[in-house]
Chain A
């Protein structure tokens, strides 16, 4: 039984806006084990990036965690001060953002920017040691050593993204979060980057949280996954299990609405309507207004959302469990 590296328990986060409180993350709980790759899949606005930001306590000024706990190696993160958090970020958990390749400082060389990150966490290392470390990282992600002396605008999108991964690994983190790292990259380069990430994970024994809206990528990259809708997790379990035996209506729709280039060309289903507004108090199952086949208790919104274990390691929101 491998060790639990990250444990999120009933995390609730909301944004304070002019229109009211928007609950972005609602009662999210999951566990990440050592060396495991965990996928978080859902559409834009479902809260997956908010979860990622909460893990690093990098949320926006008007975002507040109202309740819940995040434990990294048993250590509670939510209550830490900014000073303590700075020690954890990048060393305990690090992240590859969406569009991170555009977050390089255009007037500083790549190598220098990575060294800056290392110096922050390991102030006593020499420049030579740091350079060697970066060279090793570049070898892992498949970049030439000369890239260290280049400026960001001289690199292609794929190279910049690989450098971002090197940057994320520079302080030997235990957990790596990848939030849509291949958006805006070509399919061929995406393929290369995904292979790099898998290789890195195996080599360094990292725990990986992979966030994406692309269910095909999640299928290939992760061993366990959770499906998010409107701020809550609606289904969670082993990736292979969920793909072969989906239980939640949203999961089923997600799988049936993804076109594929293999297999027979089949008629796909689609979803009508829009995600619900997350302002104010929300009662009952958030997905029932869009469920193509709701039963009575869905329409009456009597059940609160809660994950129930239907099979070993396979959790589904109780509303859909009652339907089946």
Chain B
């Protein structure tokens, strides 16, 4: 009994030391640390939203990213724009109507007949950032900040799921190709080449024409395409390096079967590289989703890509800085989160690749 306790203690201590050592190495990489901070920030955003709803801080009716609605109204004075400029109030044509003013012609409601000098109550949508809505609302009165948080959830789920699926496929295929060689290897490499040659975006168009692409479907499709592509080749070369190491020969001489050697010996040693790939493919997945949403091909309720898509269909995308809160938050979110994962990948690279270390 005493001995086994000792053993477990030593094992725990050994594991703790290994984790501590890897963490120290990772900490040395500034890029990796920045990446972790960014990811952590978005993660907080992702879990913040349900918390705010559950604790009642936010009223779901108002703040829900898809069906929330806040009717913000603003009082506008109805004015008549002069034929000639400049006047006392307006310098040029572009200045009429000014802030807080609206012309008769701009009110498209046949039921009201506003006269010049009346106060017209108009819906302020999309509304700029205010104390009630930190990042304003979109053209349907929905809170932008809540939408960013929702998009964060989507990005994490989609990114991680497709990365896991993709890396599992490519690791398995790469290892099998390396281990068996010959025809199996040749076939898998040609398959990989084919997938690499495929232009991914047009392919996704076609897929979206046939299938309704919800989040899970998109994750699987992105995962499979990523998994069958170039990463198979890289993982195969790593697996080949492991395969010729003496401990694999040793396992074979001991009598291990092929399956056992692949799963117990080769795969664990290919795992660090696979982890690296996983982190990098999250980047691609998030970017792909926003592109596809922007093109209107996806059937998702709300994501960052959808936000940009909506701002385009509503015609605000070329409005410059006038409606910045419709475009900038979503765009920056995509950039930062995928960039964050990339930076973490760079940091992990330092940990796994001893030659890159600064000592």
Contacts and interface: CB of A to CB of B under 8 A. Distances in A.
Interface in B24-72: 24
Nearest to B24: A18
B105 interface: no
B245 interface: no
B359 interface: yes
Interface string B316-359: 00000000000000000000000000000000000000000001
A18 B359 CA distance: 7
A15 to B, nearest CB: 8
A60 B359 CA distance: 10
B315 to A, nearest CB: 57
Classify the secondary structure of A's interface with B: loop
Contacts of A2: none
Nearest to B359: A62
Interface residues of B, number: 2
A17 interface: yes
A17 B359 CA distance: 6
Nearest to A62: B359
A61 interface: yes
Interface in A61-90: 61-62
A84 B24 CA distance: 38
Contacts of B359: 16-18, 60-62
Interface in B10-30: 24
A17 B24 CA distance: 12
Contacts of B24: 18
A16 B24 CA distance: 16
Interface string B140-173: 0000000000000000000000000000000000
A259 B359 CA distance: 38
A137 to B, nearest CB: 34
Interface string A24-46: 00000000000000000000000
A313 B24 CA distance: 49
A18 B24 CA distance: 9
A60 B24 CA distance: 22
B271 to A, nearest CB: 24
A61 B359 CA distance: 9
Contacts of A16: 359
A18 B354 CA distance: 14
A17 to B, nearest CB: 6
Interface string A254-265: 000000000000
A277 to B, nearest CB: 16
B27 to A, nearest CB: 10
A175 B359 CA distance: 32
B22 to A, nearest CB: 12
Nearest to B21: A18
A21 to B, nearest CB: 13
A20 B359 CA distance: 11
Nearest to B25: A18
Contacts of A61: 359
7 contacts: A16-B359, A17-B359, A18-B24, A18-B359, A60-B359, A61-B359, A62-B359
Interface of B: 24, 359
3 tightest CB-CB pairs across the interface, nearest first?
Answer: A62-B359, A17-B359, A18-B24
